[in-house]
Each structure stands twice: as C-alpha cells, then as structure tokens.
Amino acid sequence: MSLIETIEKQESLLVFKSFDEMVALEIGRRLVDLALSDKAPLVIDIRTPDRTLFHAALPGASPDNDHWARRKSNVTLRMHKASLRVGELNRSRGRTLSAEIGLDPLDYADHGGSFPVRVAGTGVVAAITVSGLKSEEDHAMIVTVLEAYLGTK
C-alpha cells in the first residue's frame, strides 16, 4: 500500500461521531502527554476554520512551529485532507503549492502534521495539527492519538 493509500485509509477510518470543545481538549491533552513522554518539542493546534479550540507550545518548540502549524492546518481545512496526503499528491504530480495554483506558500504548507477532523454525516469541521518533528512523525503522532481515542486500532 502506498503512503497516499495509507493516509486515505486513515482518513476514512478516523471519523468522529461528534466533535466539540471538550473533545478538542481531550485530544489536545493526549497529544501533549504523548509529546512530553517523547520529549518532543512541539506546537499542538486544534482549530476550526474560524477559531482555535486548543493550542500548546511545549519546551523546545520555536515561534516558527506556530507558523508551520497555521500553514499546515490551512491546507487541511481548505482541501479536507491530511496535509501529508496533499503534499504527497502534489509531489506525485510534479507541482507545489504556489500562487500559480492559487495558494500562497506563506499561508499554506503541504508538509505532514495536520489531520482533518471528520464528523460522520457532517464532513470536515476542524484540523488537528502538530509541528516540530519530521513531516511523517508529526502525522503519525496525530494518528496514534486518534486511533486510541476512537478505538480504531
């Protein structure tokens, strides 16, 4: 199975029955706990298109991680796909995020670390984003927490 197919499968399986501020808080706390246990220097951000539901900057994270988180979540919220999948699709097509396709790279980043919050019967309502590790590691941290939370592993 290719990386794109793996991510598509994750997106189809990791679907919430409902999602609100309390769920965002619980997911955020679990990500913080995992990151602290791994001593990972992360920014963790959970947001809807119009507001932040959870945000944490852990020891070792830099202000640049906040900008990466914003840019990656913009991709997920616009495309309704994990930012890693968008990046892999773009690379397979030989293209990049650019003004040429209507996306400013200062506002969008197709690197791994943002995952769509999909609610059954509703669609994508938010993005869970991690920034501070390698692209695939950022993505994997979110998937690990969501699999445990949703009981899909």
Evaluate if residue 153 carries a pLDDT over 80: no
Q: Are 138 and 58 in contact (CB under 8 A)?
A: no
Q: What is the pTM of this model?
A: 0.96
Evaluate if residue 100 carries a pLDDT over 80: no
List of domains in the chain: 3-150 (3.30.450.150)
Three-state DSSP at 55 gives strand
Identify the H or E element spanning 124.
strand 123-131
Evaluate if residue 64 carries a pLDDT over 80: yes
